[in-house]
Amino acid sequence: QKEVEQNSGPLSVPEGAIASLNCTYSDRGSQSFFWYRQYSGKSPELIMSIYSNGDKEDGRFTAQLNKASQYISLLIRDSKLSDSATYRCAMNRNTGKLIFGQGTTLQVKP
Amino acid sequence: NAGVTQTPKFQVLKTGQSMTLQCAQDMNHNSMYWYRQDPGMGLRLIYYSASEGTTDKGEVPNGYNVSRLNKREFSLRLESAAPSQTSVYFCASSEGSGRRNEQFFGPGTRLTVL
């Protein structure tokens, strides 16, 4: 079992819709979780961090963490064409290293 | 603040040549990392430095060496480049210890080994 499982997609949503991206993880000791966005040919960009159970909202983005069920999700409301990218979840087990998911490709279509 | 900077942006090497990739951060971070990303693939950790003066192997260290020159700079060296090392190399940095460990990435170096 991989430490972080993430559907590679592609996930296709129409412009203006809600995009929902999900990850599950195996290590209950993980304490902090992140979402990175990577445009084609560019470097990963941190867009959300979440440390406690529940929701964290930042503009059109909402990160959700459920430690009991060991999953995290990212909701993107009012999806825009510019949201088309690969989104990776990552978790920190306090080892000094992040464990990354394989990434989900999101395609927002007009 | 420039964040994390990397040089060069692009490089083409012949098999057997050596080179050093440079990385610097101006965020006063303790930890620094080197990743490689192959086309259509995820990020694989090569080496990391939890703090100045320390380095540790990551997932794919073979064929690479690193130097943590000071708190700001962390270099990656290919002693004898091989075509299998054709990849995009990203450097990242973070505060390091503790709960947060948000990593911030540089723009990357695109390396081709012929």
Closest-CA residue of chain B to A95: B97
Q: How confident is the prediction for chain B on average, in pLDDT?
A: 94
Interchain contact B50–A (C-beta under 8 A): yes
Interchain contact B25–A (C-beta under 8 A): no
Tell me if A94 sits within 8 A of A51, measured CB to CB. no
Residue among A44, A88, A96 whose CB faces B50 most closely:
A96
Segment A4-9 mean pLDDT: 88
What pLDDT is recorded for position A96? Answer: 74
Tell me if A106 sits within 8 A of A83, measured CB to CB. yes
At A46, is the pLDDT very low, low, confident or very high (cuts 50, 70, 90)? very high
Whether residue B102 and residue A49 make contact (CB cut-off 8 A), yes or no, is yes
Interchain contact B54–A (C-beta under 8 A): no
What pLDDT is recorded for position A27? Answer: 83
pLDDT over 80 (residue A95) = no
Q: Which B positions 82-111 lie with beta carbon below 8 A of chain A? A: 90, 96-108
pLDDT over 90 (residue A31) = no
Q: Which residues in B lie closer than 8 A to residue A97 (C-beta atoms)?
A: 33, 45, 48, 58
Q: Which residues in B lie closer than 8 A to residue A100 (C-beta atoms)?
A: 42-43
Residue among A31, A88, A103 whose CB faces B99 most closely:
A31
Among B67, B43, B63, B41, smallest CA distance to B53 is for B67
| Angle value at C-alpha B85, between B83 and B87, nearest 5 degrees | 110
At A29, is the pLDDT very low, low, confident or very high (cuts 50, 70, 90)? confident
Whether residue B107 and residue A45 make contact (CB cut-off 8 A), yes or no, is no
pLDDT per position as a tens digit, A59-93: 999 999 999 999 999 999 999 999 999 999 999 87
Q: Is the dihedral of CA A7, B94, A94, B71 positive or negative?
A: positive
Tokens of A35: 């979402």
What pLDDT is recorded for position B109? Answer: 98
Segment B71-95 mean pLDDT: 96
pLDDT over 80 (residue B11) = yes
What pLDDT is recorded for position A9? Answer: 85
Tell me if A44 sits within 8 A of B90, measured CB to CB. yes
What pLDDT is recorded for position B54? Answer: 92
Interacting residues of B11 by C-beta distance below 8 A, sequence separation 6+: B19, B21, B109, B110, B111, B112
pLDDT over 90 (residue A7) = no
Whether residue A97 and residue B96 make contact (CB cut-off 8 A), yes or no, is no
pLDDT per position as a tens digit, B31-72: 999 999 998 888 999 999 999 989 999 999 999 999 998 999
Amino acid type, B107 = P
Residues in chain A: 110
Among A88, A85, A79, A91, smallest CA distance to A50 is for A91
Residue A94 region, left (φ>0) first, then alpha (ψ -120 to 50), else beta? left
Q: Which phi and psi (to 5°) does residue B83 adopt?
A: -55, -30
Q: Which residues in A lie closer than 8 A to residue B103 (C-beta atoms)?
A: 34, 46, 90, 98
